[in-house]
Amino acid sequence: MLRQYELVERVKAYDPDADEDLLNRAYVFSVKAHGSQLRASGDPYFSHPVEVAGILTDLHLDDETIATGILHDTLEDTVATPADIERLFGPNVLRLVDGVTKLSRIEAQTETERAAENLRKFLVAMSGDIRVLLVKLADRLHNMRTLHFIKSAEKRQRIARETMDIYAPLAGRIGMYEFMEEMEELAFRQLEPEAHASIVKRLADLREGGGDLVEAITADVQAVLADKGIAAEVQGREKRPYSIWRKMQRRHLGFEKLADVIGFRVIVEQEEECYRALGAIHTRWPLVPGRFKDFISTPRRNGYRSLHTTVVQRDRIRTEIQIRTRDMHREAELGLAAHWAYKQGVNGKEPAAHYPWVRDLLEILEHADTPEELLEHTRLAMYQDQVFCFTPKGELIQLPAGSTPVDFAYAVHTSLGDTCVGAKVNGMAVPLRFKLANGDQVEIQRSSAQQPDPMWEAFAVSGKARAAIRRHVRAREREQQAALGASMFEALAARLSTPVSDEALGTALKRLKFPDRAALFVAMAKGSVEDEAVLDALVPGSAKAKARRTPVAAKGEAISIRGLTPGVAVHLGRCAPVPGDRIVGLRKPGVGIEVHVLDCPRLAEADERDEWLDLSWGVEAETHTARIAATVANKPGALAAMTGLIAREGANIVNVATRDRDRTHHTYALDIEVENVAQLMGIIAGLREAPGVVAAERERG
Ligand code: MN
């Protein structure tokens, strides 16, 4: 275990300005806080945070991050409070320690690939400050190094799985390949002990059989480069057992068939030497086509730079060679952390010029007040357009920003979305249009009687929810159009002198080129087939004498719109008809039926081509929205008296808008849900008699 003075000296070695006092205080505080707690290894617990801090010094991180490493488990595992940390170490260290503690509390649910990917993104989004993530990764790395001390095989397995699925890829994501590879290796040993042992053994056999190939080839490469006057360090190594195993899995190859189990790195001083070295190597050995990659002229997204090539040596041995400068090498190994060190001015260098986003990131880390502000401005913003929420069981669900409980329900399961009626967010009931935030726990309430509501389309944002709602609306639309069209067909057929036989209908369908009667009914409801054409198809010549613009049902009964959802197969006109009103329909070609009150002024302006339908409400009463304009005296309680009266009449107010306002009077537009016109008239009559109300009228259009 690192001693106190050793740790401080390590930090001082790369950062002479580091706050020595801060580090000493953190060390002493952590020793006291963890007291006599022990690790599974039998070591004092305190050795763990100190080793984590040690790993962080390898990354040349700043004093606050090192202190955070030392303190990272005190909030979770000891009686230390946030107030203690803030008082002794300041608000920055508190924020970092708190961030690491929060990350540790997230229960990992890694049964599915999707969950793992979500959790990785969530960890990034929650970290806010990249240093929180670095401490968390160092914490995990040390826990993996000491994994074998844990007695429970199940627990070891779970931690290794989590490391493989979450933390190793996360380290790779920010370019910390050294961390990533070590974590993968340790996890692989735990998860696939037999495969691991067998690969280790085969590598040993290979070394024994062929002499030290790595050493021999290293010498070859060194000689070729020296010949061209290039001073280079050549590092050769066997690939790690995990990367060999993965390659075997991916290509379904046995170990013997695997061509490249050794890899080399050529490290030079200047960028230009990278290309010269590449030229020398390609001149000497044949290259394997398709394996050359220039990540210097086109760096990877995370900033990785290197030349990669694979050549065939000694007639049969494929070796991968990476060529890079010393700076590139350091960046490749340590990723973002390398740049963090630059910021400290440790190497006396400015952040590399080709890495502007890192410079920005560091800049913002310095000045951003909130994690949101930080996220907004950096590469971490890649997850800013998403929110991460939990199911009651703790499963993480990733959604686009602005998502609502409806989106959440659909993301969990289509059938949950289809039947959702309400939601609780963090235990509180919320409307379905509520906007979810990161970390919300969402519980969906469902009812088997529910169907997707066309209104949801107005606020659902995820593609899955929107598509499901559209699909449902379309299916329902077709269903209702078929029902409406069937009534229209009946009314039309009633005009003929004889009843329509099934045979005649069949012939008519063929003439009109409809596959079945439902298709004909839908077309009639949508107005995409003319009545005359239908009549002619049923009884040729019968439509001749019929004048247009007569209500279809003039001779028969009015067509009932009972049970049809407004906005689906029929659309209510702006005159806002309610049950009890005499209504007519305008059939607009290709649009469908618009329902208007008989005396609606719009009917006079109706298009030539629109057909009129005689409609009735049928018997079933559903509530409809009507609008009342009411003018009341400007005095306290007038609006309350009005709304009270409406409530006593059993109607629901859905919207109130102020229309006009002067010193003495206010005019309101009230949208109320009523069952029928009688109820509406009752309300209007009541309002007219109410004290303070000077006028109340139904509004049309
Ligand atoms: Mn820890």
pLDDT tens, residue by residue, 61-100: 888 999 999 999 999 888 899 999 999 999 989 988 988 8
For residues 411 and 468, what is the distance between their CA atoms, to the nearest angstrom?
Answer: 11
| Residue 250 pLDDT | 79
- Cα of 370 vs centre of ligand 1, distance in Å, is 25
* Helices 63-71 & 20-34 angle (0-180, nearest 10): 10
pLDDT at residue 358 tops 70: no
For residues 196 and 28, what is the distance between their CA atoms, to the nearest angstrom?
Answer: 41
| Residue 572 pLDDT | 82
- Cα of 125 vs centre of ligand 1, distance in Å, is 20
- Cα of 74 vs centre of ligand 1, distance in Å, is 9
Q: Give the mean pLDDT of the chain.
A: 81
- Cα of 176 vs centre of ligand 1, distance in Å, is 19
Cβ contact 306:296 at 8 Å: yes
Percent of the chain at pLDDT above 90? 25
Instruction: Tell me phi and psi for residue 100, to 5 degrees.
Output: -65, -40
The DSSP-derived string for 323-381 is EEEHHHHHHHHHTHHHHHHHHTTTTS-PPPTT-HHHHHHHHHHHH-SSHHHHHHHSGGG
- CA angle (580, 584, 585) in 5-degree steps: 130
- Cα of 52 vs centre of ligand 1, distance in Å, is 8
pLDDT, greater one: 124 or 187: 187
Residue 36: partners with Cβ closer than 8 Å, 6 or more residues away: 44
| Residue 105 pLDDT | 64
| Residue 116 pLDDT | 58
For residues 523 and 519, what is the distance between their CA atoms, to the nearest angstrom?
Answer: 6
- Cα of 198 vs centre of ligand 1, distance in Å, is 32
- Cα of 142 vs centre of ligand 1, distance in Å, is 8
- Write out the residues surrounding ion ligand 1, Cβ under 5 A: 73, 139
pLDDT tens, residue by residue, 681-691: 889 988 888 88
pLDDT at residue 379 tops 70: no
**Distance set, CA 536 to CA 484, 507, 553, 654 (Å):** 21, 11, 17, 47
For residues 414 and 408, what is the distance between their CA atoms, to the nearest angstrom?
Answer: 10
Cβ contact 164:190 at 8 Å: no
Mapping DSSP to helix (H, G, I), strand (E, B) and coil, where does residue 695 land?
Answer: strand
Cβ contact 249:191 at 8 Å: no
Q: Write the Ramachandran bin of 358: left for phi over 0, alpha for psi from -120 to 50, otherwise beta.
A: alpha
Neighbours of 127 (CB within 10 A): 24
- Cα of 405 vs centre of ligand 1, distance in Å, is 35
- DSSP 8-state symbol, 256: G
- Among 297, 283, 185, 190, which residue's Cα sits nearest to residue 241? 185
Q: What is the arithmetic mean of pLDDT over 621-649? A: 83
H/E run at residue 588:
strand 583-588
| Residue 119 pLDDT | 61
pLDDT at residue 343 tops 50: no
- Cα of 35 vs centre of ligand 1, distance in Å, is 15
The DSSP-derived string for 382-435 is GGTTEEEEE-TT--EEEEETT--HHHHHHHH-HHHHHTEEEEEETTEEE-TTPP
pLDDT, greater one: 676 or 359: 676
Q: Write the Ramachandran bin of 348: left for phi over 0, alpha for psi from -120 to 50, otherwise beta.
A: left
- Cα of 636 vs centre of ligand 1, distance in Å, is 63
For residues 250 and 263, what is the distance between their CA atoms, to the nearest angstrom?
Answer: 18
For residues 595 and 113, what is the distance between their CA atoms, to the nearest angstrom?
Answer: 51
pLDDT at residue 552 tops 60: no
| Residue 254 pLDDT | 73
With bands split at pLDDT 50, 70 and 90, how would you rate the model's confidence at 345? very low
Residue 38: partners with Cβ closer than 8 Å, 6 or more residues away: 44, 45
Cβ contact 26:69 at 8 Å: no
Neighbours of 82 (CB within 10 A): 13
Residue 673: partners with Cβ closer than 8 Å, 6 or more residues away: 623, 624, 625, 651, 652, 653, 654
- Cα of 433 vs centre of ligand 1, distance in Å, is 40
H/E run at residue 136:
helix 130-145
And the tokens for 536? 């002619």
- Cα of 215 vs centre of ligand 1, distance in Å, is 39
Predicted structure pTM score:
0.51
Rg (CA), the chain: 37
pLDDT at residue 370 tops 50: no
- Cα of 177 vs centre of ligand 1, distance in Å, is 21
pLDDT tens, residue by residue, 479-503: 888 888 888 888 888 877 778 888 8
| Residue 213 pLDDT | 77
- CA angle (469, 470, 472) in 5-degree steps: 65
- Cα of 106 vs centre of ligand 1, distance in Å, is 14
HSE value, Cβ hemisphere, 13 Å, CA-based, for 107: 10
- Cα of 149 vs centre of ligand 1, distance in Å, is 15
pLDDT tens, residue by residue, 510-548: 988 999 988 999 888 888 888 888 888 888 877 665 544
- Cα of 332 vs centre of ligand 1, distance in Å, is 26
By annotation, the residues acting in catalysis are 76-77
Domains of the chain: 4-194 (1.10.3210.10), 195-337 (3.30.460.10), 472-616 (no CATH), 624-699 (3.30.70.260)
Torsion of CA 31, 34, 36, 40, to 10 degrees: -110
Q: How far is CA 307 from the centre of its chain?
A: 35
Give the full edge-to-edge strand order of the sheet including 559-560. Answer: 559-560, 611-616, 583-588, 592-597, 570-572
- Cα of 429 vs centre of ligand 1, distance in Å, is 37
Residue 334: partners with Cβ closer than 8 Å, 6 or more residues away: 59, 175, 176, 178, 341
Strands (E), 617-682: 624-633, 652-661, 665-674
Q: Write the Ramachandran bin of 669: left for phi over 0, alpha for psi from -120 to 50, otherwise beta.
A: beta
pLDDT tens, residue by residue, 276-314: 999 999 999 988 888 888 998 888 766 788 999 988 887
Beta bridge partners of 444: 423
* Residue position matching structure tokens 């490493």: 69
Neighbours of 236 (CB within 10 A): 22
pLDDT tens, residue by residue, 126-180: 555 677 888 989 999 999 999 999 999 988 998 898 888 878 877 776 667 788 8
- Cα of 500 vs centre of ligand 1, distance in Å, is 82
Q: Output helix, strand, coil percentages for the chain, rounded to the nearest 5.
A: 50, 15, 30
Mapping DSSP to helix (H, G, I), strand (E, B) and coil, where does residue 619 land?
Answer: coil
| Residue 377 pLDDT | 40
- Cα of 452 vs centre of ligand 1, distance in Å, is 46
For residues 202 and 89, what is the distance between their CA atoms, to the nearest angstrom?
Answer: 51
Neighbours of 244 (CB within 10 A): 20
- DSSP 8-state symbol, 148: G
- Cα of 593 vs centre of ligand 1, distance in Å, is 67
With bands split at pLDDT 50, 70 and 90, how would you rate the model's confidence at 356? very low
For residues 478 and 341, what is the distance between their CA atoms, to the nearest angstrom?
Answer: 64
For residues 157 and 155, what is the distance between their CA atoms, to the nearest angstrom?
Answer: 5
And the tokens for 238? 């066997």
The DSSP-derived string for 219-234 is HHHHHHHHHTT---EE
And the tokens for 175? 């370019």
For residues 180 and 336, what is the distance between their CA atoms, to the nearest angstrom?
Answer: 13
pLDDT, greater one: 542 or 192: 192
| Residue 123 pLDDT | 62
- Cα of 336 vs centre of ligand 1, distance in Å, is 21
Cβ contact 459:400 at 8 Å: no
- Cα of 265 vs centre of ligand 1, distance in Å, is 34
For residues 626 and 210, what is the distance between their CA atoms, to the nearest angstrom?
Answer: 91
pLDDT, greater one: 102 or 650: 650
* Residue position matching structure tokens 């029929």: 570
- Cα of 426 vs centre of ligand 1, distance in Å, is 28
